[in-house]
Amino acid sequence: MGMTEQNFVSRFNNDEFYRSLLVSFSNDLPAVLEHLQKFVSGEQFAEAAAVCHQMVGSSATYGYPALAGIFEHLESVLEKEVADHELIASDIRMLKTVGEKICEFTATLAEN
């Protein structure tokens, strides 16, 4: 799920320039997820949906379509009139898992 070394190579040809952008993106990711969690805990669903919307675009831009897909799903869940707490919690758990994998992957990029 998410970015693998193989699709990084095919998408950006293992380019140093994109490598640094990806590292910077993944470095920001934990803070974004924490921010999102705070909005959700405070039941500020409109604000949380706005964060998700931005992350749909930036995740896709940086080559993480699966991550973009989860953010997109969560955005639609958050925009519903009645909050589905179970679904929201499940999406956030999934985002954290994928986010950790992305961070692990980019840590290897930064080392290489």
Partner 1 sequence: MSSYLGRILLVDDDQKVTRFYTATFNRAGYQTVAASDLSEMRDALSRQSYDAIFLDLKLGQENGLDGLPYVLKNAPFTKVFILSSQNSIDKAIECMDRGATWYFTKGAEPDDILAKLSHYLNDRPVPTNNGMESWRESMVGSSPAINDTAGTIRKLKDVDSTVLILGESGTGKEVVARALHEASSRSAGRFEAINCGAIPENLLESELFGHKKGAFTDAKQDRKGIFELCDKGTLLLDEIGDMPLSLQTKLLRVLQEKEVQPVGGSSTIKIETRVIAATHRDILDEVKCGRFREDLYYRLSVIVVQIPALRHRKEDIPLLVEHFIKKFSKRFAREIKPPGQAIYARLMSYDWPGNIRELQNAIERGIVLSSNGEISIDDMFAHFKVRTLDESPDATGDLAFLDHPFFDLPLTDAKQAFEKSYIERLLKNNKGNIAELARKSGRYRADLYRVIERYGIDVESFRQEK
- The residues binding partner 1 (CB under 8 A) are 11, 17, 21, 24-25, 28, 50, 53-54, 56-58, 60-63, 65, 68, 72
- Distances, alpha carbon 17 to alpha carbons 27, 98, 99, in Å: 16, 23, 21
CB of 85 to partner 1, least distance (A): 25
Closer residue to partner 1, CB minimum distance, 14 or 85: 14
Side chain identity at 54, as an amino acid letter? Answer: Q
CB of 86 to partner 1, least distance (A): 26
Closest CA to 100 of 26, 14, 35: 26
CB of 40 to partner 1, least distance (A): 20
Q: How many residues does the chain have?
A: 112
Say how far apart CA 58 and CA 46 lie, in whole Å: 19
CB of 35 to partner 1, least distance (A): 13
Say how far apart CA 112 and CA 67 lie, in whole Å: 24
Closer residue to partner 1, CB minimum distance, 61 or 89: 61
Closer residue to partner 1, CB minimum distance, 28 or 85: 28
